[in-house]
A and B are shown apart, each in its own frame.
Chain A
Amino acid sequence: MLFSPVPMHIPDGFLSVAVAAALWAVSLIVVGYALRRVNAEIGERQVPLMGVLAACIFAGQMLNFSVTGGTSGHLMGAALATIVLGPWAGILVMTCVVGVQALVFQDGGLLALGANIFNMGIVGVAVAHFAYRTARALWGAKPGGVVISGFVAGWLSIFVASLACALQLALSGTSPANVAVPAMGGIHALIGIGEGLITAGALAFLRAVRPDLLAQGAARRTGDKVVWVAGLGVAALLVTASPLASAHPDGLEWVAEQHGFLSAAQEPLYAIIPDYVVPGVPNEALATILAGLVGLVLVFGAALVVAYTRRQREETFSR
């Protein structure tokens, strides 16, 4: 928990195979395109720069401040990476961070990794880009513009990403939308304030120390209308779809069941085995007991093998 303070990493077992596979496909395509874009921009510097900055965002998630009564504000980093590096590099950095969190700390599963990359990497970055660019344009050249835009981008990226996460859970049938959406959205509307404040603080610091870096980032972002539009679209879609889904949870459940990976195959199978009971085994309870016995034998066998090989090894050592 130390390294991922934002409870948005979906573990394995919570997404249906259809949802997980679809989001893996989307994430791979977008990340592949981002790799090409960043390579075209900075060429051979890509590997060291993206690698070190991904490690930096990962480590930056440790930095926190106490809010009140033992709770603390943390950083996810999507907004900061997007604002300073541009959206495509931001997607790459967040993909690496989320991937390593899943592999090393089991923060989020591997089948669910596509969804987690989609939420925190793609949705988070696109929304942060859209929010920051829009807020900057509205604020013009006023002195506090960078800081306030940073806060807005940080907050909105967390909030919208959490809505995406809640909808995916609802679509998988693991959490009803009328509970998941308000719960996830509510918690992250609060967590997002911490994210926004830290992002704003970091931008204020960078503007004072290295204004050229922020200017560079702004220059690099030209011609990224696509991401701006995508960010606007995703934010608008999720913010309007979530209350709707929340109000009609049965609708989403219905979609989940209609498009479920398994439900398609169910009908003919029922026909093959009408009582759906294991042949030769009177009921499900007995089948469970049998499975438990087989499991015990397997586990016991493995323990014996390990004990045996260990003894062999010790004997060879002692000789």
Chain B
Amino acid sequence: MTFHLDPYLCRASVIHRLDPRIKVVLTLAYLLAMALTPHGAWPVYVLLLSLVAVATILSELGVKFVLGRALVALPFTLAALPLAFTVEGRPWIHLPLGVVTLTATDAGVERLVSVAVRSWGSVAAVIVLTGSTPFPQLLVAMRALRLPRLLVSIVGLMWRYLFVLVDEAARLLRARAARSGGRGQRHTGGSLMWRAHVTGSLVGTLFLRAFNRADRIYAAMVARGYDGEVRTLPLPPLNAAAWTTLTLGLALLGMLVALGVLFWG
């Protein structure tokens, strides 16, 4: 079992070279714009989606890669599915389901499709961000956004050991598979309680190993002069091009939201 965890793809695109702080702020602004655009403001949604498409193309990550991975949020759209039938509006489609007939209204379908488009565009924007920015640079951006420094340090250390512990968990799973008889995925031995107990022991083992590893890491950090203070390099200043990109991007998104609210609010 191998797991590819890091979403970063190394390219030399314009988006990759952009300052991580600018990228994070623009992505957040994009998500906000998506959330603020009223339901059914289709022209604004089309423009917002084409913005994320432009970012995808410029980032050279591959349109198929980004838009395909963005489908992960789609199953959650099921939660919004009842909207089509419960929001009041003009009846649009009748779905005969045995004894009951579901009636979808135009307002309901409009809201459902809006939610789906929003979530798809938002996920694609985050994929472009994480695909074009190495994780340590995202941490720099988090610091610039004034998230608590201790929290950023903890997330940084978590990222450093994530791969180690995922490998550890994969080894535990392999050891269990090696010691278990089974006939394919569906048929497994033992009672349900027994299987749950074995898995619980795996989790406990993983936890103990992580706990001991944390102690060793702490000792190693102290040996290298760690005194509880996490010191980081000062953030480099933003250049003129970065400021221009930020201003233009924010202005464009603001304009689109204003357009949506004015004409479809």
Residue numbers of A with Cβ under 8 A of B are: 1-2, 7, 9-17, 20, 31-32, 35, 39, 43-56, 58-60, 62-70, 73, 75, 80, 84, 92, 95-96, 99-100, 102-107, 109-111, 169, 173-176, 179-180, 183-184, 194, 197-206, 209-210, 213, 249, 261-262, 265-266, 269, 272-273, 276-278, 284, 287-288, 290-292, 294-296, 298-299, 301-303, 305-306, 309, 313
Contacts and interface: CB of A to CB of B under 8 A. Distances in A.
B154 interface: yes
B210 A106 contact: no
B123 A106 contact: yes
Interface residues of B, number: 111
B247 to A, nearest CB: 19
Nearest to A64: B199
A67 B193 CA distance: 10
A123 to B, nearest CB: 18
Contacts of B230: 47
Contacts of A296: 50
Interface in B164-186: 164-166, 168-170, 172-173, 185-186
A49 B200 contact: no
B218 interface: yes
Interface string B127-163: 1001000010010000000001011011111111110
A109 B60 contact: no
Task: Give 4 nearest A-B pairs by CB, closest first.
Answer: A201-B200, A51-B157, A295-B50, A44-B228
Contacts of A184: 79
Contact of A110 (B27, B86, B115): B27
Contacts of B204: 201-206, 209
A56 B207 contact: yes
Given A48-B157, A198-B199, A287 B28 contact: no
Q: For chain B, what secondary structure do more than half of its interface residues adopt (helix, strand, loop), or is it mixed?
A: helix
A60 B203 contact: yes
B200 A15 contact: no
Contacts of A209: 204, 208
A67 B192 contact: yes
Interface of B: 3, 5-7, 12-14, 27-28, 31-32, 34-36, 38, 42-44, 46-47, 49-51, 53-54, 57-58, 60, 69-70, 72-73, 75-76, 79-80, 82-83, 86, 111, 115-123, 126-127, 130, 135, 138, 148, 150-151, 153-162, 164-166, 168-170, 172-173, 185-186, 188, 192-193, 195-211, 213-214, 217-218, 221, 226-228, 230, 261-265
Contact of B161 (A55, A70, A183): A55
Nearest to B44: A291
20 contacts: A12-B119, A14-B76, A16-B35, A51-B156, A56-B165, A56-B206, A59-B169, A59-B206, A62-B170, A63-B173, A63-B199, A73-B196, A103-B135, A180-B79, A201-B199, A205-B203, A273-B262, A276-B264, A284-B264, A302-B54
B265 A201 contact: no
B176 to A, nearest CB: 9
Nearest to B82: A179
A246 to B, nearest CB: 12
B138 A103 contact: yes
Contact of B119 (A35, A109, A213, A269): A109
